[in-house]
């Protein structure tokens, strides 16, 4: 009875620890996926922003590129630290489990040794027969026979339990060695990342010092660039309002079309397309095959000049030279926009959603074309002065601007 209670208690503890281990394992898996994603991002940053070292870049561009790499490197160190800390907890838990198993194994072996000793003293068949024959009646003899069977069964269970706990101890030992090795690798990787980060921050400080020498000039450049971007954004918003008005005007009083004063007139087909676009939020492909986000959506202070506020209705993606922009979802090209000093932009309508792809040359589509997901739209213009090919990407629902990072997979 005592053995059964111990076994039930052990199984209960094992289930609880297994549940905890599974939760930690899932967390470790999630962190490893993040770490691999950041490593891939650093690889892309090095390839897309630092590959063309021979080309002359402005100090401001160099600082911006370095900021991207430093930010990614800091994220890598943070996630790697989280992994190492989680492994430390898992190692400590395993050490506690091993200590518990060793104590239980020791107790089991002592009990088993006592049983073997007792069994040895009464091992002869004659002793067993005498034990049965000395019974006062048949009922007592039957009970003694049952006892002998139960005793033999208990011995077997004790032996199996010792074997099982020995195997568990071996598995825990192997797991512990593996965890310690993983932790050591993460520590070594973090050391290297910190060395690189220190060097990059030193380079950054040197570049920022040169910026400070002529800060007013650079601030003027940044503000001028921001004004141009805001002007284009206002132009885009005005064009969307005009397109909505035109859409509603063309629809007239057709019963097959749903009209809205603030949105596109929608046919049943357009409504279905919009619903499909909505259901793919967070799952849309990137508008370029390989890219790094270098300009975030919304308003935020400039990293070097806090007094300058940057505003962006979309996102900016650095990509490879001669990269092709591609549609993130099926739809219809309803506008080819020519922007002064900014090359061309392709507008695709997906029901009452619009995606816009700016800074393109050598277009592969025209107004009215039906496009499919990932269909090539044109080549992203490579700026030889900045040494970058930057795609500007927008998502609108009617006139409402939206953060593309909420729509594109892992942006």
DSSP state of 356: E
Is residue 290 within 8 Å of residue 366, measured between CB atoms?
A: no
- 316 and 257 part of one domain: yes
Is 411 domain-assigned? no
Task: Give pLDDT tens digits along the chain (411 positions).
Answer: 444 454 454 455 544 455 555 556 788 889 898 999 899 888 888 888 876 544 566 777 888 888 888 999 999 999 999 988 888 888 888 778 777 877 777 776 777 677 666 655 555 555 656 655 676 777 776 676 676 677 667 667 666 777 777 777 777 777 778 888 888 888 898 898 899 889 888 888 888 887 777 778 888 888 888 888 888 889 999 999 999 998 888 877 777 677 777 899 899 999 999 999 999 999 999 999 999 999 999 998 887 787 888 889 999 999 999 999 999 999 999 999 987 766 899 999 999 999 999 999 999 999 999 999 999 999 999 988 778 899 999 999 999 999 999 999 988
237, 200: one domain: no
- Nearest CA to 233 among 297, 151, 179? 297
Same domain for 164 and 46: yes
Instruction: Tell me what pLDDT residue 160 has.
Output: 75
In a domain, 218, yes or no: no
Distance CA 92, CA 77 (A): 22
Whether residues 231 and 208 fall in one domain:
no
The CATH number that applies at residue 347 is 2.70.70.10
Residues 257, 200, single domain; the answer is: no
Classify residue 219: in a domain, yes or no: no
pLDDT at res. 344: 94
CATH number at residue 44: 1.10.287
Query: Residue 283 to residues 278, 286, 288, 331: CA-CA distances in angstroms?
Result: 10, 9, 14, 16
**Residue 221 within any structural domain of the chain:** no
Provide the residue range defining the domain that includes 250: 226-406
For residues 346 and 365, is the Cβ–Cβ distance under 8 A?
A: yes
200 lies in the same domain as 238: no
Q: 177 and 117 share a domain?
A: yes
d(C-alpha 239, C-alpha 399), whole Å:
10
Is the distance from CB of 232 to CB of 316 less than 8 angstroms?
A: no
Q: Is residue 383 part of a domain?
A: yes
- Does residue 48 belong to any structural domain of this protein? yes
- Give pTM, 2 decimals: 0.68
Q: Are residues 182 and 281 in the same domain?
A: no
Which of 388, 325, 324, 310 is closest to 355 using CA atoms? 325
Q: Are residues 299 and 155 part of one domain? A: no
Neighbours of 392 (CB within 10 A): 25
Q: What is the dihedral of CA 243, 245, 251, 255, to 10 degrees?
A: 120
Count the domains in the chain.
Answer: 2
- DSSP lists the bridge partners of residue 312 as 298
In a domain, residue 19? The reply is yes
With beta carbons less than 8 A apart as the criterion, state whether 183 and 116 touch: no
User: Does a structural domain hold residue 38?
Assistant: yes
Residue with tokens 């490893």: 32
Residue 394 dihedral angles phi and psi, to the nearest 5°? -125, 155
CA distance 76 to 81: 8
């Amino acid at each position: 009875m005592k053995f059964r209670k111990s076994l039930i208690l052990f199984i209960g503890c094992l289930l609880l620890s297994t549940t905890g281990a599974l939760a930690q394992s899932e967390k470790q898996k999630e962190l490893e996926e993040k770490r691999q994603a950041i490593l891939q991002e650093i690889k892309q940053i090095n390839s897309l922003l630092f590959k063309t070292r021979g080309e002359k870049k402005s100090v401001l561009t160099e600082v911006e590129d370095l900021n991207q790499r430093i930010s990614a490197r800091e994220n890598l160190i943070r996630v790697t630290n989280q992994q190492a800390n989680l492994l430390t907890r898992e190692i400590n838990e395993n050490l506690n489990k091993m200590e518990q198993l060793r104590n239980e194994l020791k107790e089991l072996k002592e009990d088993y040794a006592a049983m073997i000793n007792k069994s040895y003293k009464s091992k002869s068949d004659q002793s067993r027969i005498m034990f049965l024959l000395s019974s006062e009646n048949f009922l007592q003899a039957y009970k003694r026979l049952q006892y002998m069977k139960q005793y033999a069964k208990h011995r077997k269970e004790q032996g199996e339990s010792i074997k099982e706990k020995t195997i568990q101890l071996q598995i825990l030992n192997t797991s512990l060695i593996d965890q310690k090795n993983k932790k050591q690798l993460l520590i070594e990787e973090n050391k290297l990342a910190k060395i690189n980060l220190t060097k990059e921050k030193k380079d950054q400080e040197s570049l920022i010092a040169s910026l400070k020498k002529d800060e007013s000039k650079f601030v003027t450049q940044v503000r001028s660039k921001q004004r141009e971007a805001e002007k284009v954004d206002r132009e885009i918003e005005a064009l969307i309002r005009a397109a909505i008005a035109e859409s509603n005007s063309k629809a007239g009083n057709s019963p097959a079309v749903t009209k809205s004063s603030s949105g596109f007139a929608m046919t049943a087909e357009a409504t279905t397309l919009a619903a499909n676009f909505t259901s793919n939020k967070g799952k849309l492909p990137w508008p370029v095959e390989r890219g790094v986000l270098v300009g975030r959506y919304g308003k935020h202070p400039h990293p070097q000049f806090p007094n300058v506020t940057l505003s962006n209705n979309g996102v900016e993606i650095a990509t490879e030279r001669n990269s092709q922009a591609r549609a993130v979802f099926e739809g219809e090209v309803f506008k080819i926009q020519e922007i002064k000093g900014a090359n061309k932009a392709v507008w695709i309508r997906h029901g009452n959603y619009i995606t816009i792809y700016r800074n393109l040359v050598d277009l592969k589509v025209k107004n009215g074309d039906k496009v499919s997901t990932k269909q090539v739209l044109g080549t992203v213009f490579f700026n030889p002065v900045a040494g970058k090919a930057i795609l500007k990407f927008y998502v609108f629902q009617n006139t409402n601007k939206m953060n593309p990072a909420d729509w594109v997979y892992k942006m």
